[in-house]
Amino acid sequence: MPENLTRNEVNSQTDPSVTKQYDNETSKEQQIKDLFKLIDGQKISMLSTYRDGVGPVGRSMAVAQRNGPDILYLSNQHSTKFQDLSKDKECQITFQDTKTQNWISISGTATTTSNSDPRIKDVWSRGVAAWFGDLGDGKHDGGPDDPRMSLIEVKAKYVTYYQTDVGLLGMAKEVGVAAVTGKVAETGKLRELTEADIEQARKME
């Protein structure tokens, strides 16, 4: 249910929604397990790189594989994101579930590989070829041996995510009551994983 806003919370100059929904109770182990489940329920993410003179640049990317808290993508090495990552390996991955309003933000460092990486064959599927095309030269055919086929591996450094406790109707009610009463909506749990937590996550799978 919506919670009252106190004068002390205003004086502390903090965001009351974050303060009230920040999860200090659930164990980090359970938070990590919930994170993995949320990621596995999403096929598509937004991968944002940083470009000189522009700033963050995002694009929709299908997740090829999750390895603990780290994400692997299959991509065309001729794309501009490889140029971005050659200059700045810091990147961000976001997921948004419009049905539940769950969201995930992963900040990390990316490494790219050539077509010689054996993992390409493990994550490649026929549908991938649709994004590459076939030049008809027996080489650039969108297959796993296509020299354009490369991997982007993002090693997580910081994760924050939001897991809702209510359905869409419950969220609408919560927000509606809070807006009318002056209270603060509380619809779920905001969680944060630091580098130490992420190292723990890598050992769990």
What one-character DSSP code corresponds to residue 22? B
Q: Which domain holds residue 128?
A: 28-166+190-204
CATH number at residue 143: 2.30.110.10
Is 185 a member of any domain?
no
% of residues, the chain, pLDDT over 90: 73
C-alpha–C-alpha distance, residues 201 and 70, integer Å: 10
What is the pLDDT confidence band of residue 188, given thresholds at 50, 70 and 90? confident
Is 12 a member of any domain?
no
From the list 114, 69, 132, the residue with the least C-alpha distance to 95 is 69
Do 73 and 79 contact (CB within 8 A), yes or no? no
Is 55 a member of any domain?
yes
Q: Give the pLDDT confidence score for residue 182 in this predicted structure.
A: 47
pLDDT at 123 over 90: yes
Is 15 a member of any domain?
no
Higher-pLDDT residue of 185, 3: 3
Across the chain, what does the average pLDDT equal? 87
C-alpha–C-alpha distance, residues 103 and 191, integer Å: 11
Phi-psi region of 101 (alpha: psi -120 to 50; beta: other; left: phi over 0): left
What is the pLDDT confidence band of residue 19, given thresholds at 50, 70 and 90? confident
Is 180 a member of any domain?
no
Higher-pLDDT residue of 185, 102: 102
Is 184 a member of any domain?
no
The CB density around residue 187, as the number of other CB atoms within 10 Å, is 21
Q: Give the pLDDT confidence score for residue 177 in this predicted structure.
A: 44
Is 181 a member of any domain?
no
What is the pLDDT confidence band of residue 96, given thresholds at 50, 70 and 90? very high
What is the pLDDT confidence band of residue 178, given thresholds at 50, 70 and 90? very low
C-alpha–C-alpha distance, residues 156 and 67, integer Å: 10
Query: Mean pLDDT over residues 116-124, rounded?
Result: 95
Number of domains in the chain: 1
**Spatial CB neighbours of 55, under 8 Å, sequence gap ≥ 6:** none
Query: Mean pLDDT over residues 56-80, rounded?
Result: 97
The H or E element containing residue 94 is strand 90-96
